[in-house]
Every structure is written in structure tokens, then in C-alpha cells.
């Protein structure tokens, strides 16, 4: 079975993330601190890469486990802010950089996941990201920034994670280390992966080309019912609702399938 090889936390939705060696999951499913903050307009509508290309040139560098962020872009001076105390200052900096009034809001209970029904960390194999990089002659880190997955595994084959996508029989139980998950949907991608992660420039025909490759290379283990279209990559997850005990994962933890069938506290769970 593959092992967990990379953990990435994205404290501010739509901005850069940072890698860690271990992470704790909230009872609601997400990694603690992931998508804790979101950029919104005064009407509380998200200001993100899906809707606003001006978000892409903004760089975010995090310190102290995400508590301190330095924001920068080619125009203007960088700003360093401690959250939550200086959230209003960060919002003012973002407003100037994006060119519209922004607020920075916080959700400590579940954060701001894209899929509230499957709010656990998103998962992908490094081999899958490398295969996409080959399709478009991109480097691996650029594909990482476009796909924005929380967890990477070192599976040998591209799209290994497709075997964890839920079927008509329901979600697929698996564990990483001692933490039990349910594999949910193969993530439907948005416009963000079609854009250069630094400039926001659109790669013409990206979604169409991606879908054609994905369909042609869909593994035999992928549940075809999970692919009503092929512009999908990474796995949405949720915590096993019956799971008990610590919810900490570490780089090097093994991923095991079907552990939800084991009794809580056993070697499988």
C-alpha cells in the first residue's frame, strides 16, 4: 500500500499553502487550519481564483503554523500580518492588490471547504500530478499549485486514488495511519487549473485536453459511475463517522483500504 508523502495546508482559501510533516484533523473532517480564512466582498461572496483572476499573482508565505502571513505581489509593497489580530490589515492589503473591497472572514468549525458534504482533506498521488504535468509540459510544483490537494501519496501508478472513489454501494473506507476516512467523489475541477498559478493567464483548451487524456487513461480500477465527465482529479474525502481516538496523520503513514470493517482500536482501525 502507498504511504503519505506530503501534507499541504492552505490557511487562506485561494492563496498559497505550506507543507508540514504532521497534521491534526478537526471533528468535522478538514485539517486543522486548512481554509480557515476566506476572502469575500462586502456581500460575503467569495473572492477567489474561480471568479477573480487577480487573485493568482498574490503570493502568501506562512510562518508559525499559519498564524503569520506575508502577502506580496509584483505591484506594491509586501505586508506581514498576524492572524486573527491583524485580519483587517490583511484584508486592506488584499483589497489594494485585487482592486476591489475585500474582507477576510474566519470559520473555526469547518473552514471553507469546496465540498461541505465531503469536507475531509483532498487526496492525490504524486504519480497522478506528474502525469498531468507530462500532458501539458508543466513542472510538478505548478500542477500542485493548480490542483491544490492537501494530501499526496507515493503510489506507483497514476490515478491510484481513483480506486477510493465511492460507488453505488457507498463510500470506500480507508485509513491513513490510525485515522479512518471514507473515499468520496473524484473531485470535479473548476476554471482554476486552466490558469497559470502565478499570472492567471488561461491555458487555451486545457479542460478539453485534460478530459480527453483522463478518459483515454482511466484505470481499470476506477468506478466508471463516478465519471459522468472526465474533468476530475483528486479525491474528496470525509472522516469515518464511527472513528474514535486521535485524528493525527504524519508523512510516512501507510494508506490501507477497508479498515472501517475493523473494530475500533484494532490494528486495522
- Of the three residues 88, 106, 124, the one that is the final residue of a domain is 106
Closest CA to 221 of 164, 146, 145: 164
Query: Are 89 and 219 within one domain?
Result: no
Query: Are 248 and 136 within one domain?
Result: yes
Q: Is residue 214 part of a domain?
A: yes
Q: Is residue 22 part of a domain?
A: no
Q: Is residue 171 part of a domain?
A: yes
Position 234 scores a pLDDT of 98
Q: Is residue 30 part of a domain?
A: no
Position 243 scores a pLDDT of 78
Q: Is residue 44 part of a domain?
A: yes
Give the cell for residue 76.
Answer: 506594491
> What is the domain extent for residue 169?
4-9+115-261
Query: Are 121 and 222 within one domain?
Result: yes
Position 241 scores a pLDDT of 87
Pair 37, 98: CB distance under 8 Å: no
Query: Are 180 and 217 within one domain?
Result: yes
pLDDT in tens, the chain (269 residues): 999 999 999 999 999 999 999 999 999 999 999 999 999 999 999 999 888 889 999 999 999 999 999 999 988 899 999 999 999 999 999 999 999 999 999 999 999 998 889 999 999 999 999 999 999 999 999 999 999 999 999 999 999 999 999 988 889 999 999 999 999 999 999 999 999 999 999 999 999 999 999 999 999 999 999 999 999 999 999 999 887 778 999 999 999 997 544 434 433 33
Position 259 scores a pLDDT of 58
pTM: 0.93
Query: Are 119 and 99 within one domain?
Result: no
Distance CA 65, CA 130 (A): 28
Kindly list the distances between the CA atom of residue 25 and the CA atoms of 109, 132, 239, in Å, as whole numbers in the listed order: 11, 28, 9
Distance CA 264, CA 269 (A): 5
Query: Are 156 and 251 within one domain?
Result: yes
What total of structural domains would you count in the chain?
Answer: 2
Position 49 scores a pLDDT of 87
Q: What is the total residue count of the chain?
A: 269
Query: Are 163 and 185 within one domain?
Result: yes
Pair 148, 236: CB distance under 8 Å: no
- Of the three residues 69, 88, 106, the one that is the final residue of a domain is 106
Query: Are 147 and 203 within one domain?
Result: yes
Three-point CA angle 161, 167, 172, nearest 5°: 55
Query: Are 87 and 156 within one domain?
Result: no
CB atoms within 10 A of CB 172: 20
Query: Are 222 and 155 within one domain?
Result: yes
Query: Are 202 and 228 within one domain?
Result: yes
Kindly list the distances between the CA atom of residue 164 and the CA atoms of 24, 84, 156, 170, in Å, as whole numbers in the listed order: 21, 36, 15, 11
Q: Is residue 250 part of a domain?
A: yes
Q: Is residue 25 part of a domain?
A: no
- Of the three residues 45, 80, 106, the one that is the final residue of a domain is 106
Position 267 scores a pLDDT of 36
Distance CA 179, CA 154 (A): 18
Distance CA 23, CA 183 (A): 19
Distance CA 125, CA 58 (A): 27
User: Which 8-state DSSP code applies to residue 134?
Assistant: H
Closest CA to 219 of 114, 125, 119, 123: 125
Beta-sheet pairing, 172-176 with 37-40? unpaired
Q: Is residue 184 part of a domain?
A: yes
Amino acid at each position: 500500500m502507498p504511504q503519505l508523502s506530503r501534507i499541504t495546508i492552505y490557511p487562506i482559501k485561494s492563496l498559497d499553502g505550506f507543507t508540514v510533516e504532521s497534521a491534526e484533523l478537526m471533528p468535522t473532517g478538514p485539517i486543522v487550519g486548512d481554509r480557515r480564512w476566506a476572502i469575500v466582498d462586502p456581500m460575503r461572496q467569495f473572492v477567489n481564483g474561480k471568479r477573480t483572476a487577480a487573485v493568482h499573482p498574490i503570493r502568501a508565505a506562512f510562518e508559525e503554523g499559519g498564524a503569520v502571513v506575508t502577502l506580496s505581489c509584483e505591484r506594491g509593497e509586501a505586508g506581514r500580518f498576524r492572524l486573527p489580530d491583524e485580519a483587517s490589515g490583511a484584508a486592506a492589503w488584499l483589497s489594494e492588490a485585487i482592486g476591489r473591497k475585500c474582507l477576510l472572514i474566519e470559520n473555526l468549525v469547518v473552514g471553507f471547504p469546496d465540498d461541505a458534504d465531503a469536507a475531509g482533506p483532498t487526496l492525490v498521488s504524486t504519480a497522478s500530478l506528474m502525469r498531468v504535468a507530462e500532458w501539458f509540459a508543466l513542472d510538478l510544483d505548478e500542477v500542485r499549485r493548480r490542483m491544490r490537494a492537501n494530501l499526496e501519496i507515493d503510489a506507483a501508478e497514476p490515478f491510484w486514488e481513483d480506486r477510493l472513489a465511492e460507488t453505488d454501494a457507498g463510500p470506500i473506507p480507508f485509513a491513513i495511519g490510525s485515522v479512518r476516512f471514507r473515499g468520496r467523489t473524484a473531485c470535479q475541477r473548476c476554471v482554476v487549473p486552466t490558469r497559470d498559478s502565478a499570472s492567471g493567464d488561461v491555458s487555451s483548451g486545457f479542460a478539453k485536453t485534460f478530459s480527453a487524456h483522463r478518459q483515454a487513461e482511466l484505470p481499470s480500477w476506477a468506478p466508471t459511475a463516478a465519471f459522468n465527465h472526465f474533468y476530475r482529479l483528486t479525491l474528496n474525502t470525509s472522516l469515518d463517522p464511527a472513528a474514535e481516538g486521535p485524528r493525527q496523520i504524519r508523512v510516512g503513514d501507510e494508506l490501507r483500504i477497508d479498515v472501517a470493517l475493523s473494530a475500533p482500536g484494532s490494528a486495522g482501525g
